[in-house]
Copies of this chain bind each other. A is one copy, B any other.
Amino acid sequence: MTSTALMTDMYELTMVRAALHTGQAFHRTLFELFPRRLPSGRSYGVVGGTGRALEAIENFRFDDEQIDYLVGAGVADDMLAEYLASYRFTGNVTGYPEGELFFSGSPLLQVEGSFAEAVLLETLMLSIYNHDSAIASAASRMTMAAEGRPIQEFGARRTHEEAAVAAARAAWIAGFSGTSDLEAGRRWGLPVSGTAAHAFTMLYDTEEDAFRAQLEWLGADTTLLVDTYDIDAAIHKAVELTGGKLGGVRIDSGDLSTEVKHVRRLLDSLGARQTKIIVTNDLDEYQIAALRGAPVDGFGVGTSLVTGSGHPTCGFVYKMVARTLSDDPNAPMADVAKASTNKKTLGGRKFASRALDDQGVAQAEVIGINAAPRVGSNDRMLLTELVSDGTIVGAEPLQAARDRHEAARAELPLDAHRISNAEPAIPTIILDEQGHDLENVYQAGPAPQNI
């Protein structure tokens, strides 16, 4: 992996430039990355990006070419250039593990280190978490709506080519079965799938020629795309050519709920009872839910997945919440917060737990400021160690995140399964150091943006 260090807003560097001269660059600070609230209509969010963020921190190094650019562009002076040349993140990071759910105010990532080393990570951490969590959150709604039927991720063509690779990864964490994106398959070990497009059918003089070629060279268990010309004729031919052993048919157009019932009856009447029906026409969680009663064996989802199904970014922010008053690394940290209209932040280190009742059903996201909230016997602490003194300690296989997502989602109350105009599935309760409830701190105000 190449250096990630320049995927950073210029102001992170100019702040460090000034603070190096005054000495504040080395004061110890704590930054937190969190959502002020869930997107409207969503009952929960899914943490995506943790694994990618840890790799990005490891590769956050400024090479000579990058530093030459920064000096030439007037961004860095000599003192900053020297600092950047030896930059390594040496601090500590804690956070929600990947695949975990989040709610308003959940402290998803906590970066503790000198001001310089912590602030330089701001843009990149936000890019990764805002993108990957938006995709994971949308994907989770889709797998929930699919009720166990497999969903393939087919969205590469609808988003930036590198975003597509990350999107496939996030979708897999949230329960997708695989992806069409080969680089995602290679890079992350995801199952890949794909057979043929309409162009393949049109490449041959007849649909039958195309089917014969695909069946001969990809096998009878392939999935044939049957809607290039006439669906019924295509299905008759496909079943005939395979003696009823055809693996699957894909339908990519028309009114799917009507179409699939008709196709299922037709396949059955021709004896192709094992042939699966895969649908792929502009699906999202609402369409998938609407196909609950329909004989669909699998879904392919593209656009709506990679665009976060209406919420392409999460609106996470990265705020300094505490700092020392000197560059003595052992000095105690003081809470800090800003007071801007509608963009207040809560100072102090957050602790987080998910309160569960006796049946293991989630009741609340409990966030304590500067003190771990009292927890019941069944509650789960949510923060885990990710980086310790600059060493990555939180890396894990993707399967762990996938399993965690499934388990955490299963804890939600039934209301969380509502996909239209949903309310947050559980409330966020914020307790100060004395355990007093700070009501609704993160619930009000307009959607956040801070640049």
Contacts and interface: CB of A to CB of B under 8 A. Distances in A.
Contact of A306 (B15, B162, B194, B313): B313
A158 B313 contact: yes
A131 B183 CA distance: 18
B451 A157 contact: yes
A10 interface: yes
A99 to B, nearest CB: 19
Contact of A451 (B131, B154, B229, B342): B154
A448 B128 CA distance: 29
Contacts of A419: none
Nearest to A446: B282
Contact of A180 (B10, B182, B228): B10
Interface in A246-270: 252-254
A447 interface: yes
B75 A9 contact: no
Interface string A266-305: 0000000000000011100000000000000000101100
A199 B31 contact: yes
Contacts of A449: 158, 280-282, 302-303
Most buried by B among A253, A307, A449: A449
Interface stretch (A20-28, A356-364, A373-381): A20-28
A414 interface: no
Contacts of A122: 157, 197, 199
Contacts of A312: 159, 307-308, 312
A227 B73 CA distance: 28
How many copies of this chain sit in the oligomeric assembly? 2
A212 to B, nearest CB: 8
Contacts of A21: 213, 216-217
A228 B303 contact: no
Contacts of A313: 158-159, 303, 306-307
A196 B161 CA distance: 31
Contacts of A29: 199, 203
B19 A213 contact: yes
Contacts of A339: 228-230
A303 B337 CA distance: 23
B340 A228 contact: yes
Interface in A393-451: 446-451
Interface stretch (A35-43, A163-171, A384-392): A163-171
Most buried by B among A9, A312, A318, A450: A9
Interface of A: 4, 6-15, 17-19, 21-22, 24, 27, 29, 31, 56, 66, 69-70, 73, 75, 77, 115, 119, 122-124, 126-128, 130-132, 154-166, 180-183, 185-186, 192-205, 213-214, 216-218, 227-230, 252-254, 280-282, 300, 302-303, 306-308, 312-313, 315, 318-320, 323, 325, 336-343, 446-451
5 contacts: A7-B181, A73-B192, A154-B451, A158-B313, A202-B336
Q: Which 5 A-B pairs have the closest CB atoms?
A: A10-B194, A11-B194, A126-B157, A162-B162, A160-B163
Given A126-B158, A127-B156, A308-B312, 15 more contacts: A7-B181, A9-B181, A10-B193, A11-B194, A11-B195, A15-B200, A122-B197, A131-B163, A160-B163, A162-B162, A198-B450, A202-B336, A252-B450, A254-B340, A282-B447
